[in-house]
Amino acid sequence: MEREVQRVRQAFLSGRSRPLRFRLQQLEALRRMVQEREKDILAAIAADLCKSELNAYSQEVITVLGEIDFMLENLPEWVTAKPVKKNLLTMMDEAYIQPQPLGVVLIIGAWNYPFVLIIQPLIGAIAAGNAVIIKPSELSENTAKIVAKLLPQYLDQDLYVVINGGVEETTELLKQRFDHIFYTGNTAVGKIVMEAAAKHLTPVTLELGGKSPCYIDKDCDLDIVCRRITWGKYMNCGQTCIAPDYILCEASLQSQIVWKIKETVKEFYGENIKESPDYERIINLRHFKRILSLLEGQKIAFGGETDEATRYIAPTVLTDVDPKTKVMQEEIFGPVLPIVPVKNVDEAIDFINEREKPLALYVFSHNHKVPVGWELITENIVSILFLISVPVY
């Protein structure tokens, strides 16, 4: 492992990855790879998550292509030195900020959107002039294999190296010294990554997760709200870091919400959900069993059917969920949607603020006084994404 990293570091020290032209060339090669080998890439993602190739395209490949194009267009401007305002003492001087590469970057990917979550950071790392070690998630085996196979065929083989492996290999890798570590995954491992990085004073970017709350106000169009929630929740079989994890709403709304989500599920996936090409499966048996255990003791309003052989779990909604139960203790990351009744928006805010800051937070309301002003509700709610449905102004 140490030798591999050393090799990549030597490649970086050669200075090859720094010139703009080289970076653009590599990005163009990456785009060619995605376009020429689209079929292989889609097949791998499809195999890992039982996803249709069409969905693999729209959920992953399209984002990658968009990112590459955006980078190609803007990079020439981004790499230039930015002059800054000077004061009297520096009047005669040139003062500017010059972006420079960090060196060797480690990117650790996740399994739920296995292609985009490794390639999108890679695009940025290459654009910034770094050498990269790529460690795809071993849980999404097929994508890990295809990435290891394709990247060396299109990109510089010494600067951008794929290392595959499990916990043992990753632990070894984390002992090495990098100039930046980019990790996507769960909070527990996030802490391990940051602690390992601290030994070398390596800066990190940690894209983690949490339980993303979804508040439904009584003043909203429930039809539309439920369609949007159904879409966000059951996409990729709930295995999305920013999926609405659980619902908070007044108790009286529950039955309507359940009914409308049920209808929407039928509309999206048909009567026989198992046959729908648009409904995915759980990544592996361990997660399948984990999600199943969350259903114990819960009131299943609809759904709940499972099939271990295919790792199928039906779109499920739970009502009157007790916040102290298991399903409300960990990030669900599956097609199970608990509804926790609250009295009003203030109670919802208290509920959210008592917990860890989530990655995403959703509010559905017509009343734009409800969620928007930060002085009203969003103090201490910190999240990356904050979606609100409000009337068009």
Partner 1 sequence: MKDEPGSTNLFTKLDSAFIRKEPFGLVLIIAPWNYPVNLTLVPLVGALAAGNCVVLKPSEISQGTEKVLAEVLPQYLDQSCFAVVLGGSQETGQLLEHKFDYIFFTGSPRVGKIVMTAAAKHLTPVTLELGGKNPCYVDDNCDPQTVANRVAWFRYFNAGQTCVAPDYVLCSPEMQERLLPALQSTITRFYGDDPQSSPNLGRIINQKQFQRLRALLGCGHVAIGGQSDESDRYIAPTVLVDVQETEPVMQEEIFGPILPIVNVRSVDEAIEFINRREKPLALYAFSNSSQVVNQMLEQTSSGSFAGNDGFLYVSLLSVPLGGVGHSGMGRYHGKFTFDTFSHHRTCLLAPSGLEKLKEIRYPPYTDWNQQLLRWGMGSNSCTLL
Q: At closest approach, how far in Å is the CB of 264 from partner 1?
A: 8
Q: At closest approach, how far in Å is the CB of 164 from partner 1?
A: 26
CA end-to-end span of the chain: 57
Q: Which of 3, 97, 168, 252 binds partner 1 (CB under 8 A)?
A: 97
Query: What x-and-dash track marks residues 239-278 binding partner 1 by CB under 8 A?
Result: ----------------------------xxxx-----xxx
47-66: contacts with partner 1 (CB under 8 A)? 52, 54-55, 57-58, 62-63, 65-66
**Considering just the CA atoms, what is the radius of gyration of the chain in Å?**
23
**Residue 138 is encoded by which pair of tokens?**
């071993």
Q: Which of 2, 95, 274, 286 binds partner 1 (CB under 8 A)?
A: 95
Crossing angle of helices 187-198 and 167-175, rounded to 10°: 30
Closest CA to 235 of 11, 18, 56: 56
Dihedral angle of Cα 176, 178, 180, 183, to the nearest 10 degrees: -30
Q: Which of 231, 266, 274, 376 binds partner 1 (CB under 8 A)?
A: 231
Residue tagged active-site, from 4, 53, 207, 263: 207
Catalytic (active site) residue 141: no
Residues in the interface with partner 1 (CB under 8 A) total: 73
Q: Which of 24, 47, 50, 102 binds partner 1 (CB under 8 A)?
A: 102
**Cα–Cα distance, 301 to 317 (Å, whole number):** 6
Complex with partner 1: residue 221 or 350, whichever CB lies closer: 221
Q: At closest approach, how far in Å is the CB of 285 from partner 1?
A: 26
CA angle 3, 9, 12 (to 5 degrees): 150
Quick check: 78 binds partner 1 (CB under 8 A)? Answer: no
Quick check: 32 binds partner 1 (CB under 8 A)? Answer: no
**Cα–Cα distance, 96 to 232 (Å, whole number):** 43
β 299-302/316-319 pair status? antiparallel
313-372: contacts with partner 1 (CB under 8 A)? 364-366, 372
**Cα–Cα distance, 314 to 276 (Å, whole number):** 11
**Cα–Cα distance, 313 to 12 (Å, whole number):** 46
Query: What's the Cα-to-Cα distance from 356 to each of 190, 210, 350, rounded to whole Å?
Result: 15, 7, 12
Complex with partner 1: residue 2 or 219, whichever CB lies closer: 219
168-187: contacts with partner 1 (CB under 8 A)? 179, 187
Quick check: 24 binds partner 1 (CB under 8 A)? Answer: no
365-384: contacts with partner 1 (CB under 8 A)? 365-366, 372, 374, 378, 380, 382-384
Quick check: 388 binds partner 1 (CB under 8 A)? Answer: yes
Letter string b/e over residues 79-101, b meaning 16 or more CB atoms within 10 A of that residue's CB = beeeeeeeeeeeeeeeeeeeeeb
Dihedrals φ, ψ of 5, to 5°?
-65, -40
Choose the stretch contacting partner 1; rule: CB under 8 A; options: 92-100, 117-125, 130-138, 305-313: 92-100
CA angle 4, 7, 8 (to 5 degrees): 90
The answer to whether residues 340 and 328 touch, using CB atoms and an 8 Å cutoff, is: yes
Which stretch of DSSP H or E encloses residue 32? helix 20-36
Q: Which residue has the tokens 């790529």?
A: 134
Q: Which of 50, 148, 292, 390 binds partner 1 (CB under 8 A)?
A: 390
Choose the stretch contacting partner 1; rule: CB under 8 A; options: 31-39, 153-161, 223-231, 331-339: 223-231
Amino acid at 232: G
Q: Which of 36, 40, 195, 322 binds partner 1 (CB under 8 A)?
A: 195
Quick check: 215 binds partner 1 (CB under 8 A)? Answer: no
Quick check: 20 binds partner 1 (CB under 8 A)? Answer: no
Quick check: 90 binds partner 1 (CB under 8 A)? Answer: yes
Choose the stretch contacting partner 1; rule: CB under 8 A; options: 199-207, 283-291, 301-309, 313-321: 199-207
Q: Hey, which residues are catalytic here?
A: 207
